Amino acid sequence: MKKLNVFLLGGTKDSTEIIRHLKNNYDTHILTTTTTEYGSRLAIEAGSDETIARPLLKDEIIEIINSSDFDLLIDATHPFAEHITQTSVSVSKICKIPYIRFERPPLNFKDIDTSHIIYAKSFENAGEIISKEIPEGNILHFAGANTMEDVLKNVSKDRFYPRILKVEKSLEKCEKLGIESDHIIPMKGAASLKENIDLIEKYDASAMITKESGEIGGVIEKIEASNQKDISLIMIKRPHIKELDKKDIVSNLDEFDEKLKNLF
């Protein structure tokens, strides 16, 4: 296989694993894009040759790909980053570049006690559910800074405690929404079961909000913590991205290798 010039949409744990895998097993040059400096730093530590640490517009992605002769576009963004995945599919067609969507598999709930889970269609719907069904107690928000505003349309910020990366962009969102600094819980990776339980107890939480982001996103630990502490877990279902072709999706590194072999 020839040396591959890879454009990688990253910012997730999945993306850093792909970077390491590519560097250990293939001759590659990798440019990784992330929306934060933190994500960029992790990509560099994983072995990415270059990074861009800011959100890119569709036209910018097209210009970069066309001007640098990339061989492959990999989308390893979060399962809930619906817009960027839609954009990446469109870009791959416009630029006529091979495309792989690496998407962590959904959680298998077969042997899991789901009695405390309440499913929501969106973050605004999660806020509506809390307003109607959980009117008392504090709310732990484990779903990122970009989703806070929709929840707060129906939930008082006085009972709202988001667990977020303490980066400038996220802190600015909190300030704009009127979230006090003592309500912000610093985040570094997925929380363990004990950490989740400690947070529930510390903030006297009656509910947690999370995405159905798969096992790698720490969902199992959140479910178990809600079960042990007898509180509700509001879970937002994954979006269905109609632009995605199933044949372009891989969910583990073996499938990824097979896809690469077929493409190159």
3-state secondary structure the chain: CCCEEEEEECCCHHHHHHHHHHHHHCCEEEEEEECCHHHHHHHHHHCCCEEEECCCCHHHHHHHHHHHCCCEEEECCCCCCHHHHHHHHHHHHHHCCCEEEECCCCCCCCCCCCCCEEEECCHHHHHHHHHHHCCCCEEEEECCHHHHHHHCCCCCHHHEEEEECCCHHHHHHHHHHCCCHHHCEECCCCCCHHHHHHHHHHCCEEEEEEECCCHHHCHHHHHHHHHHHCCEEEEECCCCCCCCCHHHEECCHHHHHHHHHHHC
Q: Tens digit of pLDDT per residue, the chain (264 long)?
A: 789 999 999 988 899 999 999 999 999 999 999 988 889 999 999 999 999 999 999 999 999 999 998 999 999 998 888 899 999 999 999 999 999 999 887 777 788 999 999 999 999 999 999 999 999 999 999 998 999 999 999 999 999 999 998 888 899 999 999 999 999 999 877 789 999 999 999 999 999 999 987 766 688 999 999 999 999 999 998 887 888 888 999 999 999 999 999 999
Q: What is the pLDDT of residue 173?
A: 94
Q: What is the pLDDT of residue 245?
A: 87
Q: Hey, what domains does the chain have and what are their CATH numbers?
A: 4-105+241-263 (3.40.50.720), 117-236 (3.40.50.150)
Residue 255 in tokens: 């499938």
Q: Which residues lie below 8 Å from residue 194, measured CB to CB, with a gap of 6+?
A: none
| Calpha distance 9→58 (Å, rounded) | 12
Q: What is the pLDDT of residue 238?
A: 83
Q: What is the pLDDT of residue 189?
A: 74
| Calpha distance 160→179 (Å, rounded) | 8
